[in-house]
């Protein structure tokens, strides 16, 4: 059905994107995603294979150890290559971690010490302002371990606030709580109190606090309440105060630390007051500082004038940044005391959201590790080559909400069989482009790469397609389609396939199965048959 146009698009991609010069020149015909990525990767992979012994079969213990070693390395305790063998170097790294945390330096991790280390690593991969700020601090990412240890003990650190919020935002929460009956922790749980988005476009989350849901009249006038927008800057977060109602993060535009309300808010009468600089705390209730009919705007001190009607788009979640969404999920997870399990799951959508962000982090780490070995390819070249992949895979993505997983997988398999690439090339190229897509929030590239992984026999990657369909990121939200793809991944894992995301979490497949079943209210996730449309195709292997 798609063979002729896909071949044409692929040929055009190879011709237009092939680099000049010696980089990967001998591998252009084998590159599915463009001239550079496939050829360069296969060279590096072949070199790496000569330098290391490939483990035969899947070992749960070694996967468990690799996860520990990767976590130690991330936080600056050098355990060496994560090979799953806990040798002298790994034991030394464990001792360093234990000393840093104030644990007995035995070189052997207790269950609690390991769980805290690995869960902190997974949480750090989700990102967010707390991680970014820690990276800029004197202790780097190691500082997160002390911060999250203190949070778990109910101690608020000097550099971060509630639920990992920036200190400036946390101080504002304290300020509001001082004039309202709910505690700061209770305010953070209230729907609409805090909203997150990258408003100033610098790649970091910015924060909006709406005091109208605090229950305190101190922050509200006759018809409007104080709204605080915190924009990220290299020096921290800058606060901008407004008087408004019914606003979202889309109602504001920020340049660096200075924010203004968008002109589309005028006619609705959703704003009142006059431009004034933000203050650490109001000397009088906000109602006293209103001046009828004018606009209270940002710390920049510019009057906003008349503002027309604003209507928030109904599908805002569909176009939102997945990276920003994962930062928000991280906040909720921390507020709830940790990731949901099968026994503690109360919200299947949030449980799947947590696992989506974990899977995204693992996918990014795998691709990033390969990119780090490429000496002749720049990050910009990789991104460019992965971008050229999108048109070729788009026909398959367009079928996700109309065709079942078996039909889509069968046609993607036919597609990859025409690529003239080896399984190793396909797997490593897809891993690199998955990293590139998720890193830049180009979700069509990430999803297309996941489809390639599934098509070459790595069925657990079907979980990513399920997440995109259930959460509505990069695809139309569809519970039946999401359940179909979740079933592909869960069935493969239950039949002994190697886990590709969080292998140290043994009950993860059961959690996804239970949560996915509850999405549709059916109570049961239907297994994928062992035979089907793709049965006639060969079984692919990485061996």
pLDDT digits (tens, 9 = 90+) for 231-240: 998 888 999 9
pLDDT exceeds 90 at position 41 = no
pLDDT exceeds 90 at position 94 = yes
Min mean pLDDT across 145-159, 411-425, 490-504 is at 145-159
Min mean pLDDT across 46-60, 348-362, 407-421, 474-488 is at 46-60
Q: How far is CA 459 from CA 66, 211, 238, 249, 490, in A?
A: 21, 47, 46, 38, 9
Average pLDDT over all residues of the chain: 73
Burial class (CB in 10 A: 0-12, 13-18, 19+), 204: buried
Q: Kindly state the average pLDDT of the residues 215-229.
A: 83
Q: What is the pTM of this model?
A: 0.47
pLDDT tens-place string over residues 262-297 = 875 544 445 543 333 343 433 333 333 333 332 333
pLDDT exceeds 90 at position 148 = no
More confident residue, 427 or 156: 427
What's the confidence (pLDDT) of residue 140? 78
More confident residue, 323 or 508: 508
The most confident of the ranges 3-17, 34-48, 55-69, 152-166 is: 55-69
Please provide the DSSP assignment of 345-414 as one string: -S-HHHHHHHHHHHHHHHHHHHHHHHHTT-SS--HHHHHHHHHTTHHHHHHHHTTTTTS-HHHHHHHHHH
What's the confidence (pLDDT) of residue 175? 82
What's the confidence (pLDDT) of residue 327? 75
The pLDDT-based confidence of 39 (bands split at 50, 70, 90) is: very low
What's the confidence (pLDDT) of residue 163? 55
Question: Cα separation of 412 and 13, whole Å?
Answer: 18
DSSP bridge partners of 228 = 209, 241
First to last CA, the chain: 31
What's the confidence (pLDDT) of residue 11? 38
């Amino acid at each position: 059905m798609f063979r002729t146009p896909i071949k044409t698009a692929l040929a055009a991609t190879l011709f237009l994107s092939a680099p000049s010069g010696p980089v990967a020149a001998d591998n252009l015909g084998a590159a599915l995603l463009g001239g550079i990525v496939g050829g360069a990767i296969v060279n590096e992979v072949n070199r790496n294979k000569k330098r290391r012994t490939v483990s035969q079969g899947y070992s749960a213990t070694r996967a468990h150890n690799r996860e520990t070693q990767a976590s130690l390395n991330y936080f600056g305790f050098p355990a060496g290559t994560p090979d799953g063998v806990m040798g002298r170097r790994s034991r030394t790294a464990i001792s360093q971690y234990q000393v840093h945390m104030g644990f007995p330096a035995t070189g052997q991790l207790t269950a609690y010490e390991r769980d805290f280390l690995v869960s902190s690593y997974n949480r750090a991969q989700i990102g967010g302002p707390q991680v970014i700020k820690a990276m800029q601090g004197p202790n780097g990412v190691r500082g997160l371990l002390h911060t999250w240890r203190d949070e778990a003990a109910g101690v608020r650190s000097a550099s971060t606030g509630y639920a990992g919020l920036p200190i400036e935002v946390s101080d504002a929460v304290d300020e509001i709580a001082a004039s309202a009956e709910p505690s700061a922790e209770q305010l953070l749980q209230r729907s609409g109190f805090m909203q997150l988005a990258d408003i100033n476009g610098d790649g970091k989350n910015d924060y909006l606090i709406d005091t109208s849901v605090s229950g305190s009249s101190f922050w509200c006038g006759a018809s409007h309440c104080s709204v605080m927008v915190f924009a990220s800057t290299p020096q921290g977060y800058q606060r901008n105060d407004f008087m408004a109602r019914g606003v979202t993060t889309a109602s504001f535009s920020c340049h660096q630390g200075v924010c203004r309300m968008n002109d589309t808010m005028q006619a609705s009468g959703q704003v009142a007051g006059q431009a004034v600089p933000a203050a650490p705390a109001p000397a009088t209730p906000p109602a006293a500082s209103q001046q009828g009919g004018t606009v209270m705007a940002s710390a920049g001190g510019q009057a906003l004038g008349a503002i027309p009607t604003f209507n928030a788009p109904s599908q805002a979640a569909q176009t939102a940044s997945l990276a920003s969404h994962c930062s928000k999920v991280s906040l909720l997870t921390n507020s709830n005391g940790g990731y949901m399990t099968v026994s503690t799951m109360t919200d299947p959508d949030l449980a799947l959201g947590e696992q989506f962000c974990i899977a995204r982090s693992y996918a990014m780490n795998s691709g990033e590790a390969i990119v780090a070995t490429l000496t002749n390819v720049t990050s910009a070249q990789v991104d460019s080559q992965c971008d050229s992949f999108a048109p070729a895979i788009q026909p398959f993505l367009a079928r996700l909400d109309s065709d079942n997983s078996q039909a889509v997988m069968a046609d993607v398999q036919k597609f990859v069989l025409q690529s003239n690439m080896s399984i190793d090339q396909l797997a490593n190229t897809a891993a690199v482009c998955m990293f590139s897509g998720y890193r830049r929030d180009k979700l069509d590239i990430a999803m297309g790469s996941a489809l390639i992984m599934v098509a070459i026999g790595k069925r657990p990657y079907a979980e990513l397609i399920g997440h995109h369909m259930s959460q509505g990121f990069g695809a139309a939200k569809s519970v039946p389609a999401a359940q179909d793809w979740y079933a592909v991944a869960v069935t493969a894992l239950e039949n002994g396939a190697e886990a590709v995301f969080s292998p140290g979490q043994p009950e993860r497949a059961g959690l996804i199965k239970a949560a996915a079943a509850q999405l549709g209210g059916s109570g049961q996730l239907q297994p994928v048959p062992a035979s089907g449309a793709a049965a006639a195709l060969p079984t692919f292997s990485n061996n």
